[in-house]
């Protein structure tokens, strides 16, 4: 056997062995993995558990019956009736106005608080105590917050003569913002703690004034967390029922309180119709935040982390 023939034989053997190895790999990949299948089924069940109630609500928003739980046919009667009801329109507008006001107030205060905690040069014990006090507002039951806020607003409006706290909208905005400030603070703090302080120091070395450093460096870096905190404040305000039912006054009834009072006479399809619209508004808010984060240069992973931190 010549050297060329031997070489060709060795190459043929190696090619056959390579093809056989690839076949074994393909067969191994095609073999069903019980753990992977189980995790896939479990994930589908979890998502079904989370979103099936919302899907049912969306479907029943097109119910033409008099009661929400009694399906009679498909139609847009519930949406038309909700739009024609001045009480429903007033409660929805009140909820949206309170949510926007609470989001603005809590975002401003929470952003300043998060920056202060992240950049504080004070003793560590001060930061720990401040974090603990903010955490208390998150873990305190809402019924306790509601019971404490009601006499506070009454005292400010009557005993101290601050008439603005007798306004129902002001009460809702302040009460909802108090419950959301800690959330925004922790989100902004987590974002700023991962920021390299060398950027601000370099700007200071180039004689940039503090206000310019804040607007051109600090604020753009913190903007994803600020948007996420604002979105969280907005949704928390829309969802608040217990505190709202205590601090609201006649003429400023938010949507959750209206739904809660409707339970006494039975829920109507209009409730599901308006809830479906507000759910779509929440999705639109998420889309806006995602668009802003994308324009700021954030990757998909960073966007998911920012929204998940909210």
Q: Tell me the β-bridge partners of 74.
A: 63
- The reported pLDDT for the residue numbered 268 is 83
- Name the DSSP class of 3: H
d(CA 20, CA 90): 73
What's the first-to-final CA gap in the chain, in angstroms? Answer: 74
- The reported pLDDT for the residue numbered 160 is 67
- The reported pLDDT for the residue numbered 291 is 75
The DSSP secondary structure of 260-279, one letter per residue, reads HHHTTT---HHHHHHHHHHH
Find the largest Cα–Cα distance for the chain. 112
Q: Which CATH number fits domain 84-307: 3.100.10.20, 3.30.200.20, 1.10.3720.10, 3.80.30.20?
A: 1.10.3720.10
Please name which of 191, 181, 177 lies closest in space to residue 134, comparing C-alpha atoms.
181
pLDDT in tens, the chain (310 residues): 455 554 555 545 455 555 555 555 555 555 567 788 888 899 899 999 988 988 988 888 888 888 777 788 888 888 888 888 888 889 989 999 999 999 999 999 999 888 888 877 666 677 778 788 888 888 888 888 888 888 888 888 776 667 788 888 888 999 999 888 988 888 888 878 767 667 777 777 677 777 777 787 778 888 888 888 888 888 888 888 888 888 888 888 898 888 888 777 777 888 888 888 888 888 887 787 777 767 666 666 666 665 555 4
Element (H, E) at 24: helix 3-30
On whether the CB atoms of residues 120 and 281 are closer than 8 A, the answer is: no
Digit-coded pLDDT (tens) for 226-285: 888 888 888 888 888 888 888 888 888 898 888 888 777 777 888 888 888 888 888 887
Please name which of 222, 213, 228, 230 lies closest in space to residue 191, comparing C-alpha atoms.
222
Please name which of 236, 90, 104, 231 lies closest in space to residue 168, comparing C-alpha atoms.
90
- The reported pLDDT for the residue numbered 253 is 86
d(CA 310, CA 308): 5
CA 6 to each of CA 2, 9, 20, 128, 292: distance values in angstroms, whole numbers, following the listed order? 6, 5, 21, 76, 66
- The reported pLDDT for the residue numbered 123 is 63
- The reported pLDDT for the residue numbered 168 is 83
d(CA 90, CA 5): 92
- The reported pLDDT for the residue numbered 126 is 74
Element (H, E) at 300: helix 300-309
């Amino acid at each position: 056997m010549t050297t060329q023939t031997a070489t060709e034989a060795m190459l043929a053997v190696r090619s056959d062995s390579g093809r056989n190895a690839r076949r074994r790999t393909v067969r191994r990949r095609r073999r069903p993995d019980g753990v992977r299948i189980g995790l896939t089924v479990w994930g589908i069940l979890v998502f079904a558990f989370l979103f099936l109630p919302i899907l049912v609500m969306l479907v029943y928003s097109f119910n033409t019956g008099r009661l929400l739980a009694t399906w009679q046919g498909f139609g847009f009667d519930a949406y038309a009736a909700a739009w024609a009801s001045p009480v429903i329109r007033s409660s929805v507008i009140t909820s949206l106005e309170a949510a926007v006001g609470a989001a603005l107030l809590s975002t401003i205060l929470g952003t300043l608080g998060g920056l202060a905690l992240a950049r504080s040069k004070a003793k560590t014990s001060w930061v720990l105590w401040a974090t603990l006090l903010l955490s208390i507002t998150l873990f305190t039951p809402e019924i306790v917050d509601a019971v404490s806020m009601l006499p506070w607003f009454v005292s400010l409006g009557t005993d101290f003569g601050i008439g603005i706290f007798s306004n129902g909208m002001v009460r809702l905005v302040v009460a909802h913002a108090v419950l959301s400030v800690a959330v925004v603070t922790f989100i902004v703090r987590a974002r700023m703690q991962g920021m390299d302080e060398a950027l601000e120091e370099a700007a200071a070395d180039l004689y940039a004034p503090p206000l310019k450093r804040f607007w051109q460096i600090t604020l753009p870096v913190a903007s994803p967390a600020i948007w996420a905190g604002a979105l969280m404040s907005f949704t928390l305000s829309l969802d608040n029922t217990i505190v709202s039912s205590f601090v609201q006054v006649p003429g400023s009834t938010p949507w959750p309180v209206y739904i809660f009072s409707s339970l006494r006479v039975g829920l109507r399809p209009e409730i599901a119709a308006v809830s479906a619209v507000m759910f779509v508004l929440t999705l639109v808010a998420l889309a806006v935040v995602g668009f802003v984060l994308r324009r700021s240069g954030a990757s998909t992973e960073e966007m998911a982390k920012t929204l998940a931190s909210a």
